[in-house]
Amino acid sequence: MKALLLENKRKFIQYIIACFLPVIGDMGRVVVFAMIFEAIERKSMEFFQWTILAVIGLILLDAAAFIASRMMRISYMRDTLYSLRIKAFEKIMWMDYQQFHQKSRDVYLSNLINDINTFEQSFFLSLINVIFRFGIYTVCMTLLFILMWQVALAVMIASFLVLLISQLFQKRTVKLQQEVSNENERTTLNVSNTLSGLEILKLNNIEKTFLKNTQRQIDKLEGRKFGFRFFSTLQIDLNVAIGYFLFIALLIYLMTLIGTGMSYGNIAMIIQLSTLAIFPLVNMLPLINVIKSSSAIYDKIAKPEEMAEGNSKSKEFVFKKRVEVQDLHFQYDERTLFHDLDFTIEKGKKYLLKGPSGSGKSTLIKLLSGIYDQYDGKITVDGTDLRAISLKSLNNRSSYIFQDVFLFEASLKDNIALFKEIDPYRLAEAIEKSGLKEFVDSHPKGVDFQIEENGKNLSGGERQRVSIARALYKQAEVLFVDEATSSLNDELGRGIEATILNLDATVIAISHKLFAGITNRYDYVLEIKDGFINQYPIQDYYQEAS
C-alpha cells in the first residue's frame, strides 16, 4: 500500500501538510483561551481588546486553513482512489483462467465496490485523523516540555500505556475488518444468485425460503460490522478513560499551583495543551489499527499475485503437425475425471467430442486449450510441452465458440475484430464466410450496426455467427466449439455446424445433435466414457449409431 500512497509524492506531501493545517486553529484556540484568562487576571481592558482582535483573526485564519486543507486533501484522495480502482481491476484482468475461476464473478464485484468503499471510508478518514492528531500531539508535547517538563513527562508515560493497549487490540481489529469484507462478498453472491433465479423462485412459490436465507446472510454481515465497530469503540473508550484519569490528576495538580506565582494564563495553557496531547493520542492509536486493517483490504483487492516458481510459459505456439495426448490423468475437486487418456489431434482435421453429461467434455477442451494445467501425463504440440507454451501465444492462434456467446455494447465490426485495428478485407471475408453478409446488407449502418447489451437485439443464430466471424477474422488455427448449436432450432443449427466445418482450421467440437449430411463431415470422434477415451473415424460412429 506504500507504493499506492507514494505514486504522486508531491501530492502526498501536500496531503500531509493539509492534514496538519487544522493544527493551526487548535493552537490558536489555546492561545486565545489563555489570553482570556490572562485578561481576567490583569483586569485590563486594553489586553481584553487585543484578545478580541486575536479571536477575529483566529476565526479568519481557521476558516482559510480549513478550506485549503479540504481542497488539498480531496485532490489527493480522488487520485489515489482512482489508482486503487484501476489496480484492483487490473489484478482481476491479468489473472489466468484458473485463478479467476477460484472465486465467483460476484465476489470480484464485491471487491471492486464494497471493499473499495470500505477502504475509502475507513482508511482516509483514519489517515487524516492520525496525521492531524500526531501533529497536535507533537506540538503540544514540545510546548509542554518548554512550559512544565513534569506535566510533559506524565503525559508521555500515559502515551506508552495507551500504545501498549492499542498493540493488544491490533490483530483482532485487522481480523474483524477482514471478516466484514468476507461477509460482504457472501452477501453480494447470495443476492446475485437469488436475483438470477428469481423467475424460478416465483414460478415455484419459494420466495419466502430464499428471503429468509438472504435475511440470515444480511444479519451475519451486520453482526460482523457491529463486532468491528464495537471492538474499535472499546479501544477508544478504554483509552479515553485513561485520558480522563490523567486529565483530572493534572487538573488537581495545577490547581495546587495557584498562588505560587504562576499566572492564570499559563495554567490555562498547560491544561489545554495537556488535554490536546492526551485525547488526540487516545483516539489516534486505535485509528492506526484501522489503517492496518485497511492495508489488509488493499492487499486482498489490489496487490498483484505472486507468480509460482518454475511457472515459465515462454515458448511460442507453433502447430504444424499434431497435438499428442499421452497418459493424461486429471482430477477435479478430488474426483478423478480422466484415466490415462491417449489420443492425437492432427492439424486441419475436424474432431467431434462425444460423451454423456458430466463425462468431462468441456474440461478436456480446457486442458487442450491450456486453461487447466494441473494434470499428470503429457500434452505436446509438435513435441513442445503445452505447459511451456505462452497462453498469450496460444490464445492468439485459437478461438472459442460457446453456447452462450458474449457480445459487447459496440458496433458489429468491433465485436468481430474485438476492438483491434480493422482490416477491411479480413472483415469482409469473415462476414461472408460466417454467413453474416445478408444481415449486414439488410441494415443501413452495415458493419457499424450497434449491438445492444450482450446482443439482445440479435437472434440466437446471428449471435453464433458473430462468434464464428470472430474466429475467422482472428485467423485462428484451432477452433474449440462447446455446444454452439444446442439452443438453436435444427435449421439454424445445420447452418452453423456447416459453417464451422467449412473453416480452414482444426476443429474440436462438443455437440449432442446429429445433422444428416453435415455431422458426417467430421473426420474423427473422440468419445469419453467412464474416464477413458476412444478415438475412431466418423464413419464408424455412424455405423454404430445405425
Per-residue pLDDT reduced to its tens digit, 50-106: 777 877 877 787 778 778 777 777 878 888 888 888 888 888 777 766 677 667 777
Cβ atoms within 10 Å, residue 264: 16
| pLDDT score for 306 | 58
CA atoms within 13 A on the CB side of 384: 18
Q: Which are the contacts of 498, defined by CB distance < 8 A and separation ≥ 6?
A: 515, 518
Of 213, 147, 209, 177, residue with least CA distance to 287: 177
Helix (H) or strand (E) holding 527: strand 524-529
Q: In whole angstroms, what is the distance from residue 365 CA to residue 13 CA? A: 53
Return the DSSP state at 1: -
pLDDT tens, position by position, 355-409: 888 888 888 888 888 888 888 899 999 989 988 888 888 888 888 877 777 888 8
Residues pairing with 328 in the sheet: 341
The residue with cell 515459465 is 312
Provide the pLDDT for residue 258: 67
CATH of region 322-545: 3.40.50.300
Cβ atoms of 28 and 93 within 8 Å: the answer is no
Low pLDDT (below 50) residues in the chain? 308-310, 546
What b/e string do you get for 335-346 counting C-beta neighbours within 10 Å, with b at 16 or more?
Answer: eebbeebebebe
Q: What pLDDT is attached to residue 312? A: 60
Written out in words, the top-level CATH class of the domain with range 2-301 is mainly alpha
Give the single-character DSSP code of 512: S
CB-neighbour burial class of residue 284 (10 A; exposed 0-12, middle 13-18, buried 19+)? buried
For the chain, residues classed under CATH 3.40.50.300 are 322-545
Instruction: Provide CATH 1.20.1560.10 ranges for the chain.
Output: 2-301
State the pLDDT at residue 308. 46
**Whole-angstrom distance, CA of residue 506 vs CA of residue 503:** 8
Cell numbers representing residue 88 in the block: 484492483
C-alpha 189/C-alpha 288 separation (Å) is: 31
**What does the block give as the cell for 177?**
475488518
* Closest CA relative to residue 434, chosen from 407, 401, 410, 480: 401
Find, among 140, 161, 162, the residue nearest to 152 by Cα. 140
Task: Annotate 390-429 with b (16+ C-beta within 10 A) or e (fewer).
Answer: ebebbbebbbbbbeebebeeebbbbbbbeeeeeeeeebee
Q: All 3 cell numbers of residue 484?
A: 454452439
Query: Residue 484: which residues within 8 A CB-CB, separation 6 or more?
Result: 401, 402, 403, 464, 467, 496, 497, 500, 509, 511
Q: Give the DSSP H or E segment for 352.
A: strand 350-354
Please list the residues that pair with 343 across neighbouring strands.
325
Pairing of strands 524-529, 398-402: unpaired
- Residue 324's pLDDT is 92
What grid cell was written down for 356?
454423456
The residue written with cell numbers 443464430 in the block is: 461
